[in-house]
Amino acid sequence: MDTKIREFRQLKGLTQQELADRAGVTRQTINALENARYNPSLLLAYRITKILGQESIEDVFIIDGGNEE
């Protein structure tokens, strides 16, 4: 899952560590999210969205709408 975490984090002037501390996760988790190597829980996605000052999860997390069969 692609994200705009890095973009919004930099706009707010936050380091990965600062965002991680506010979200209650490790810096490595933020790094993995920014590099599309980890899919967060809904709660973590919501927390990050609010910390970054965005209105909806879809503003930060790009959810692939493809149908899997």
Quick one: tokens of 2?
């692609």
Each residue of 11-64: pLDDT tens digit? 999 999 999 999 999 999 999 999 999 999 999 999 999 999 999 999 999 987
Q: What residue ranges do the domains of the chain occupy?
A: 2-60
CA angle 64, 67, 69 (to 5 degrees): 135
Question: What residues does 62 pair with on adjacent strands?
Answer: 2
SS3 2: strand
pLDDT of 69 above 80 = no
Query: Rounded CA gap, 69 and 67, in Å?
Result: 6
Q: What topology does CATH give the domain 2-60?
A: 434 Repressor (Amino-terminal Domain) (1.10.260)
Whole-number pLDDT of residue 66: 55
E-state strands within the chain: 2-3, 61-62
